[in-house]
Amino acid sequence: MERETPEPAAPATFLRGEEGASPESVRARFERMIRRVQAEVCAELEAVEGGAGGGGGAALFREDAWTRPGGGGGISRVLQGGRVFEKAAVNVSVVYGVMPPEAYREARPEAAAAAGGEKAGPVPFFAAGVSSVIHPVNPFAPTMHFNYRYFETGAPEDAPGAPRQWWFGGGTDLTPSYIIEEDVKHFHSVQKQTCDKFDPKFYPRFKKWCDDCFHIKHRGERRGVGGIFFDDLNDYDQETLLQFVTECADSVLPAYIPIIECSKDIPFTEEHKAWQQLRRGHYVEFNLVYDRGTTFGLKTGGRIESILVSLPLTARWEYDHKPEVGSEEWKLLDICINPREWI
């Protein structure tokens, strides 16, 4: 299993050889986009963190750059122990090489199933993406996750079970501990406005996909109040989908920062904090049991610190905990069990 090599600084590009031959290729343009988004999101979160309470000592992002022997690398940026954000991570990776058959089946379960009895051998691949999870301190400030990625497989024509393919995937979703309706409606309205620029069918399709994707099956509830999610998207031309994914990534800050600014200073009690920690326990369960990105990263020998950076600093489990019917905690749980339309 390949292990990453720490680098003192990130290179101008992680592409090399044929991968970086054309600066206008989809691969090169996607890398530039995700690195720009990473820088902009980190700068905005640091601005929010630095403005909390005034004075010095605000938490800043730590950056780790790394390369991968098989090809490519990434940049992990993590902020911990802040006044506003308990933990925030914004990572980019651009990796390529050959993936083992089991990782291909994880990345493309439908394609692997369509191959029938033919099993893919080692599959050449290219994968690039930006991924972020933001866990605020205040229980009334919601966790947000976003991830946008581009993937290619390029098996030789005579290789069984792994055809040449490309696709985009990703989404943005919100996980509150308490429901503030105007915040959730704002968040969904930004997702819808972005989707509507390309196809009015996108938002309802991707909103349902998000509700279905972030389903904690063993608890019968969703992770949060959703947003949009899509995967294996290649039913439009590459240029259109590259523009769409770029617009989605650029909508993250307008969707989230106004919510944080309004909720980060709401007074809260120890009881509110305990409920937030219980909800974060459910968040951990989903990420470790069901998240495709986590399982794919583990099966391809990815960087463990980057793969598990989505987990909160703290979480809590209590035996047979049930919120009182009609309470604010119960209202959140009811929505997670019965997803609703917000706009």
Task: Give the single-character DSSP code of 290.
Answer: T
Beta bridge partners of residue 135, listed in sequence order: 87
CB atoms within 10 A of CB 238: 14
Tell me which residues are annotated as active site: 145
Can you give 63-119 as a three-state secondary structure string?
EEEEECCCCEEEEEEEEECCCCEEEEEEEEEEEEEEECHHHHHHHCHHHHHHCCCCC
For the record, the structure tokens of 249 come out as 């990534």
d(CA 242, CA 167): 10
Phi-psi region of 60 (alpha: psi -120 to 50; beta: other; left: phi over 0): beta
Structure tokens at 324: 């009182």
